[in-house]
Amino acid sequence: MNGPLSELTELIQGHKAAWDRFVHRYAGLILSAVRRVVGNDGETDDIVQDVFVRLCKDDYRLLKQFDPARAGISTWLTIVASSAARDGLRRRKLTTQAIDATPESAFAVQPPTFERLQIPEGLLSPRQHLVIDLLYHRDLEVPDVARFLHIDPQTVRSTHHKAMLKLRAYFSALE
């Protein structure tokens, strides 16, 4: 079996040389198909790259769908490239319209609000409670907590781990 089908079989099997030949042979065709849809703008190269990503994505799922009984490889690749180009135009149009039509105030970022978890009294040891407080409520890093408590960083990690196990067990039982 020679020709495009054997090359596609090698390509799908993961042979790098087959992929290199495939890209070399069909890059111009794909570029041409993309340019016919989007023109010669700055996104052309990105869309061409997107076509090649689509072809090899998910273990070459798209390439495995090629059926030589329905179309030649060049025709099929032109259709895939044109479809990717139209998708790119649609994304750009939606993004541009959405941004232009959105008032500036909608882009304001609200600071996150967090609920402080109420840990039942006696569930954690005093040291575990202190480590959790320093790590999560005061946003200290493990080395900082270790220096603050005059203990080894590994002790902080171990204490944190044991506290988290107790908390997970407690809150899982509530569900």
For the chain, domain boundaries = 4-103, 126-174
pLDDT tens per residue, range 21-56? 888 999 999 999 898 888 876 778 888 898 999 888
- How high is the pLDDT of residue 65? 87
At residue 170, what are phi and psi to the nearest 5 degrees?
-65, -50
**CA dihedral sign of residues 134, 136, 139, 145:** positive
Q: Which CATH number fits domain 4-103: 3.40.50.740, 1.10.1740.10, 1.20.1740.10, 3.30.1280.10?
A: 1.10.1740.10
Kindly report whether the global pTM for this prediction surpasses the value 0.75: no
